[in-house]
Structure 1
Amino acid sequence: MTYDSEGDAPHALVVDDDALILMEATSILEDAGFRVLEAMNVVQALQILDQHHDAVQLLFTDVHMPGVADGFDLARKTNERWPHIAVVVASGQAQPEPGDLPEGATFIGKPFSAEIVRHHVRKALPDERHPKQLRT
């Protein structure tokens, strides 16, 4: 996990139990101008959000992870507790059913490209909350 309280870059939290996908998503979001925090399950993600929710602008989460909660649960809980955080959910196995995603959340399939991630992040965040690299 990387966290630096200095600077004006918005923070994103990436959550995935697959280390390679976690690294790829982190790299894509760092290249897009975010400072990235990382978690490998819902429990870790909620601990990070409890501490850093004021700085986090974006949650990028996988669906299937170990534990009793999944990425859909994390997306809904994040939206309830911290509605300012934009939510992007990704999966190569699951498709959201009605009620799985909170209002305003975005779903993308895996595998994803940097271009797809940047496109959906631009749509998920208001223009004034885009990192400099995503501003058009």
Structure 2
Amino acid sequence: MTLPSSSDAPCALVVDDDALILMDATSILEDAGFEVLEAMNVTQAMTVLGEHHDRVDLLFTDVQMPGDGDGFDLARRTAEKWPHIAIVVASGHVKPGDDDLPEGATFIDKPFSSNLIRHHVRITMPAEKHPGPLRK
């Protein structure tokens, strides 16, 4: 789990139990201008959100993870408790059903690319919250 710095950059929380995918998504979002927090399961993510929800602008989460709940649960709980947080959900194995994603959230298939993540972040987050590299 990564803790925030004092940066003025928008903040994203990346959640994935696969360390390589977590590092890849973190790198893509950092290159896009985000400060990034990390968690490897829903329980860790809820702890980070509980402590830093006022700073988090984007949740980028995998669906299938061990432990308490999955990425769809995390997305719905986040949207309910902290509606200001934009949500992107990714999976290489599961597609969302009718009620899996909260309103305004987007879904991408894995494997993903930097361009795909940037595109979905642009359409999911309000333009005024986009970091500089996403405004280009």
What range describes the TM-score normalised by the shorter chain of this pair? over 0.9
Scaled by the length of structure 1, what TM-score is found?
A: 0.98
Q: Secondary structure at the match of 1:66?
A: coil
- Counterparts of 1:45-124 in structure 2, within 5 Å, are 45-124=45-124
Q: Counterparts of 2:37 and 2:15 in 1: how far apart (Å)?
A: 9
Return the offset for 1:7: 2.5
Residues 17-69 of structure 1 show CA distances to partners (whole Å, capped at 9, x for unaligned) of 00000000000000000000000000000000000000000000000000130
Q: Which amino acid aligns with 1:76?
A: R
Structure 1 stretches of at least 4 aligned residues deviating more than 2 Å after TM superposition: none
RMSD after superposition: 0.7
Residues 60-79 of structure 1 show CA distances to partners (whole Å, capped at 9, x for unaligned) of 00000001300000000000
Matched residue pairs, number? 135
Q: Which amino acid aligns with 1:101?
A: L
Structure 1 unaligned spans of 5+: none
Match of 2:37 in 1: 37
Q: Counterparts of 1:86 and 1:34 in 2: how far apart (Å)?
A: 13
Structure 2 unaligned spans of 5+: none
Q: Which amino acid aligns with 2:16?
A: D
Match of 2:4 in 1: 3
Return the offset for 1:3: 1.2
Scaled by the length of structure 2, what TM-score is found?
A: 0.98
